[in-house]
A and B are shown apart, each in its own frame.
Chain A
């Protein structure tokens, strides 16, 4: 008897192409993508983008930069020293590096300056680790010469006089360390930045995640309306399909702006994120991001035959976009191919726009591209929904 139930369920599953896809195709696809995002199994290491310059003619400076350029996990762009901070500030590069002293000699201050955006502190840490590794593994000669130079400066030959000098040097060592003279590099945060970059990043990232979830939930009402007959009544009305799709798009935008308002109010009150100071641009970004989320959710709802199907499809899309687009892990930590793939997701553009408005204080001109892409997602999604529903109802 139980076999009969098994047979009935197996036949039902085999004849439901949607369920087959959800059961056997999507899980491995998600596994591959999530493994690439979270475990770095994407076939190549994630690389950090570094804007690099040198202000010294010391030969070792160029040796260091050449070695960094060859490192597989660093994408090094040589630029003029004055451009380093700007490129980090506008997000073209994750971190900046200025070689200002001879890394193979003793110096009074650290020969390397790492320009960091506090929103990408992880990138600075990765670069620091990479440089340390270069010194210990790839360029041991540089490290030895630097240590020898430092020993020469600090102790010199070990004669009586040297002993006296060593005592003197030992006495001076704490002061030298305190001044940073013993360090290899010094970090200089961008002057205009505040202290809660991670919160700013995740405020945008979580906003995008939940804008998508809220949009798919709202758009799923289309399935309910189709089942109840409300859909028939609306498409028969003078407003028709255009009113149906346009009304839903508008509602999802308003709902998204309200959701973002609540989220960012918490970010401002609890974490001091600058929201009120950039209220106009943040509101515009929230509206555009909500339109993009609606542009994803509406076609999925129009495509689905049941609410269950709509929710499964939507959950898959939201998880995929959120993982690849940077809602869960910053994209610069992902492999290059995933970073490139992320560009096609509205999540990546939404996070970038929120980050620009909240953290960098970008104006409309700076945000224009992101806003245009987000609004484009909304327009294309709404157009696609309109086309699908017109085909479904076959209105003349």
Chain B
């Protein structure tokens, strides 16, 4: 059975009411470069003590949105406030901790030297810098490596230090841009634990990522950006339940791209191809009969998948459903 994506869910109902105290509140944000509109009415709230994962295809406007949040681009209309302060004001920037995708640290300096530099730049008084730095190093678990140069650290430790540097200004909103790039599995798990612990301290965290598994692990809420708008936003479990009731996600992989006839059979069962056409994914009804029908159809078409996985629908299914829908 084909699972028609449901996009007509009124997303406004899922967006928490913005309050002045929200670490981040974006309303009706329009941003463009020349004649090109990049953001076309973004609404998004990041409450305290929550992790909101923001994802979307390349060119959807994620980088522009982060720039707008950081006050580095003037909106054509709409508002962005950080803890109630318009993002354009310096006071708003002081409440943001930004951990860019690249390791934004002086590579020949040690962790503690970097943190001292950024604490001073954040306006921490000289006498308070050692205490602030020590506190952040304990919170982020980098104290044991404090005297090691950044370029001597592994990718995972560099990521931790990158997050630590974002915290020395004592922000209320933490923006993490692709924090899992170049991080191995154990370091990734440690990073997830760190993000959760920071949210537990009360920070509002905006996690910009394409790593769905990481987002599912740490995020309370997800937002999918498409064509300059938030196409879907809410608590992940609720969104999955609302979009895929009694459905499971199915993924079939093949050693070589299937024939045209095979692709037609897969499409008839709601399975969409990956760019290289060796993986096909979609959703099927959560019943033994539906799974049996699919397997029988594959056999009949002479398709022998290398793997065939059936699992609960998650962020990747939501993402696929949203991004495959033709733009209005």
Contacts and interface: CB of A to CB of B under 8 A. Distances in A.
A229 B121 contact: no
B121 A230 contact: no
A155 B103 CA distance: 93
Contact of A236 (B70, B102, B123): B70
A234 to B, nearest CB: 6
Given A229-B102, A233-B100, A243-B121, A238 B169 contact: yes
A230 B105 contact: yes
A237 B165 CA distance: 11
Which of A232, A236, A393, A395 is the most central at the interface, judged by chain B CB atoms within 10 Å of its CB?
A: A236
A394 B121 contact: no
B59 interface: no
Interface residues of B, number: 28
Interface in A215-256: 227-230, 232-240, 243
A232 B74 contact: no
Contacts of B104: 228-230, 232-233
B71 A232 contact: no
Interface string A362-396: 00000000000000000000000000000001111
B176 to A, nearest CB: 12
B71 A395 contact: yes
Nearest to B91: A238
Contacts of B101: 229
Q: Is the interface of B mostly helix, strand, loop or mixed?
A: loop
A239 B121 contact: yes
A240 B90 contact: yes
A233 B102 contact: no
Contacts of B88: 396
Contacts of A394: 72-74
A232 B103 CA distance: 11
A230 B93 CA distance: 15
B111 interface: no
B38 interface: no
B70 A228 contact: no
Interface string A113-134: 0000000000000000000000
A227 B104 CA distance: 9
Interface in B158-198: 165-166, 169
Interface in B92-107: 93-94, 96, 98, 100-107
A233 B123 CA distance: 13
Nearest to A233: B104
Contact of B122 (A227, A228, A230, A238): A238
A237 B118 CA distance: 8
B106 A230 contact: yes
Instruction: Bin the interface of chain A by size.
Output: 10 to 19
Contacts of B166: 233
Interface in A277-315: none
A240 B122 CA distance: 9
B102 A227 contact: yes
A236 B74 contact: no
A393 B72 CA distance: 6
B12 interface: no
A394 B106 CA distance: 24
A229 B106 CA distance: 10
B235 interface: no
A236 B98 contact: yes
B201 interface: no
A237 B122 contact: yes
Interface in B75-120: 88-90, 93-94, 96, 98, 100-107, 118, 120
B82 to A, nearest CB: 11
Given A237-B121, A238-B122, A239-B123, A232 B98 contact: yes
Interface string A303-338: 000000000000000000000000000000000000
A236 B93 contact: yes
Interface of B: 70-74, 88-90, 93-94, 96, 98, 100-107, 118, 120-123, 165-166, 169
30 contacts: A227-B102, A228-B102, A228-B103, A228-B104, A228-B107, A229-B101, A229-B102, A230-B105, A230-B106, A232-B98, A233-B100, A233-B118, A234-B121, A236-B72, A236-B93, A236-B96, A237-B93, A237-B94, A237-B122, A237-B169, A238-B93, A238-B94, A238-B122, A238-B123, A239-B120, A240-B93, A243-B121, A393-B72, A394-B72, A395-B72
Interface of A: 227-230, 232-240, 243, 393-396
Given A232-B98, A236-B70, A239-B121, 18 more contacts: A227-B102, A228-B107, A229-B101, A229-B104, A230-B105, A232-B100, A232-B104, A233-B118, A233-B166, A235-B72, A236-B93, A236-B96, A237-B122, A237-B123, A238-B93, A238-B94, A243-B121, A396-B89
